[in-house]
Structure 1
Amino acid sequence: MSSIQVRPATLRDAKAIAQIQVASAQDAYKDFWPDAALNGLSVAQRQAYWREAINMCEPQVLVAHLDNEVMGFVGFDRSRDKGTPSTTGEIWAMYAAPAHWDKGVGQALVEAAQEGLQEEGCTRVTLWTYKNNTRALRFFEIAGFRAEADSVKAVDVEGKPLEQMRLHRSLI
């Protein structure tokens, strides 16, 4: 039985959230992001973003913790994709500290986000991830997400074209 707890993020969590996002991205994306992009990730910039998100509740932000050590976070809200129904939610961002990978943090976060979206009346949840991020794709597949046909989009990361794909699952 896991002792991982999930709670709403507070402004005091913003720095830990930013540190986790930067460290996790640098580890998870190291095989396909350009070095300049990895090295350019800024804890200070991410902290400012997450402070504003937490303050405005957009997206809703939850943290997973054990003995008050923040291990990971998830940001979720209604889908940002044009043309989606109001009953579609989206996981905007989800990261666990690399030291806590494969320890149930991601599972606790995705379950909490899904519960939060259901409380908001959502019947479906989506998320975007890099096609190259095999670890994330495997995790989300185990969590019940499936790739959406024809959902691949190109993104530019420091001049390198990469592809993201949208995943989805039902909440009912």
Structure 2
Amino acid sequence: MTAPTFEELFRNCQRTAVHLEMRDAYMKSDPAFVDWKAGKTLDPAERWADWHALVAEAVGRGVAVRRARIVSTPVSEYIRFEHAVTDGLNIAAGEAVRWLSRRQATDITLPGNDFWLFDSSLVLLNYFDGEGENMEVELTEAPEVAKLCESAFEAVWKRATPHAEFELS
């Protein structure tokens, strides 16, 4: 039996899809990041149309899609890019996004890796190399992992600042 794709996981979730990001840079070779650095105007709805459709479909059937980002301050160039495209990419698609300074996360128990948690029970762990490239994933239904990820996400979410109010420093 083959593992479900990310799209299948997203389409099959029924209540919640939450994502915790904890790195200061991802995939710096991403053409969108390269274009943004070069000063090119990005149209997130056009460039990430598949993401918009996937999230909008989930939100339309009642799934709460939330993303929390723990970031170092002052923020990295990559985080400036993420912040710049969040309105058009994530918010416009129906995600709720919050930001938390790493300094404010010191006493929160966090897993060692970024993750997606679907319906509080299915965890997709994201593994990156030291440069934020070469993502690999691992899917687990281990209850203790799901519990840790849910607890960590909710603690971060409670403390984090909504995207519209988060100021880059």
Q: Same fold (TM over 0.5)?
A: no
TM-score normalised by length of structure 1: 0.29
TM-score normalised by length of structure 2: 0.30
Q: Which has the higher strand share?
A: 1
